Amino acid sequence: MIDLRSDTVTRPTAGMREAMATAEVGDDVYGEDPTVAALEAEVAELFGHEAALFAPTGSMANQIALQLVVPVGDELLCDADAHVVTYEVGAAAAYGGISSRTWPAVGAEIDPDLVAAMIRPDGYFAVPTRAIAVEQTHNRGGGGVIPLPTLRRLREVADEHGLALHCDGARIWHAHVADGVPLREYGRLFDTLSVCLSKGLGAPVGSLVIGSAEKIARARFLRKRMGGGMRQVGVLAAAGRYALAHHVQRLAEDHARAARLAEAVAPFGVLANPVRTNIVPLDLTKHPLDARQFAAAARAEGVLVSVLGPRTARLVTHLDLTDDAVTRATESLTRTLRA
């Protein structure tokens, strides 16, 4: 089976396992795990922030960050397809008491003026807007990259209204490689970021919340409250450090392989939008197969794909694929879509 469902399906490489096996560890709830501390310092430095906090998942990292920037009962603005309101099972409301309001999602495109027009001020009757969240790259937006000028304009909008700006940067590495924007340049635009080591970078688990020293001190408390205080977790932080050292620049290979897949399916009129990174979004509205039928037929041809909606599906490239596997996948998918 060639697994194109997600970039989370990767298994640790031999080098990564070696790094995990030899990691120095301690009890991180006591703040005594040197490998975790090194990872946190390294990631904070990469993004030009004061501090970072290791968290078990991207969802927890996002939710900690949202609780840092939106008080209970106040409002977060994001797009309707954002992971934080689509796939985090209502956590912002359930844990943070956060009221979320969305603007219509158009891939990774954002109209900062539209966002500005949605902002509600403080007031006796209003739900005051406190933060804006964006996703870089955008998962349901087909791996699209928000251009730097748009993010800069959004930062201005946030500053004009005294709002925080959060980045769900689960795949910010892909944006960095695709657009050549330094991670620090992204870092300086946001009050908080969450980044993942387990999507595309190949670590088995692990995400970080990034922000000021004050925010991250509070984040440590919130993580514990959410049950995310971990003990000798340096074995996982070591996998993350290995991933950062070895698996960021190679994402260009995943992007090239996604482009090959896109080229193979495009003649069937199913490419939802141009491919920028490692996600190939499929729109089967005009195809005889719906998404479930397509996934079943692809499986029969030896390829696993993700179903995102009745007529939408997704192919994702990652570290565990070879050029040969991608060639076989293009052949299988061509047969599936032709049938």
Ligand X SMILES: Cc1ncc(COP(=O)(O)O)c(C=O)c1O
Q: Which residues bind ligand X (CB under 6 A)?
A: 57-59, 62, 83, 135, 139, 168, 170, 196, 199, 207
Instruction: Measure the CA–CA gap between 14 and 4, rounded to whole angstroms.
Output: 22
Q: 98 or 264: whose CB is closer to ligand X?
A: 98
Q: How far is the CB of 140 from ligand X (least distance, A)?
A: 8
Rg over CA atoms, the chain: 20
For residue 117, count CB atoms less than 10 angstroms from its CB and return exposed for 0-12, middle for 13-18, buried for 19 or more.
exposed
Q: 199 or 223: whose CB is closer to ligand X?
A: 199
Q: 137 or 332: whose CB is closer to ligand X?
A: 137
C-alpha of 199 from chain center: 7
Q: 200 or 234: whose CB is closer to ligand X?
A: 200
Instruction: Measure the CA–CA gap between 107 and 294, rounded to whole angstroms.
Output: 22
Q: 199 or 318: whose CB is closer to ligand X?
A: 199
Closest CA to 99 of 78, 113, 116, 124: 78
- Which tokens is 76 given? 């977060």
Residue nearest to ligand X (CB): 58
Q: How far is the CB of 179 from ligand X (least distance, A)?
A: 17
Question: Any long-range contacts for 220-229 (C-beta under 8 Å, 24+ apart)?
Answer: 220/53, 222/64, 222/67, 222/68, 223/53, 223/55, 223/60, 223/64, 224/29, 226/60, 226/63, 226/64, 226/95, 228/55, 228/56, 228/60, 228/64, 229/28, 229/29
Q: How far is the CB of 209 from ligand X (least distance, A)?
A: 12
Q: 61 or 303: whose CB is closer to ligand X?
A: 61
Q: 65 or 189: whose CB is closer to ligand X?
A: 65
Judge whether 231 and 244 are in contact, CB under 8 Å. no
Q: How far is the CB of 54 from ligand X (least distance, A)?
A: 12
Q: Within a 10 A sphere around the Cβ of 224, how many other Cβ atoms? A: 12
Amino acid (1-letter code) at residue 197? L
Q: 8 or 212: whose CB is closer to ligand X?
A: 8
Q: How far is the CB of 117 from ligand X (least distance, A)?
A: 25
Burial 26-54 (b: 16+ CB within 10 A, else e): bebeeeebebbbbbbebbbebbebebbbb
Q: How far is the CB of 171 from ligand X (least distance, A)?
A: 6
Q: How far is the CB of 121 from ligand X (least distance, A)?
A: 29
Q: 14 or 89: whose CB is closer to ligand X?
A: 89
Q: How far is the CB of 131 from ligand X (least distance, A)?
A: 16
Q: How far is the CB of 206 from ligand X (least distance, A)?
A: 8
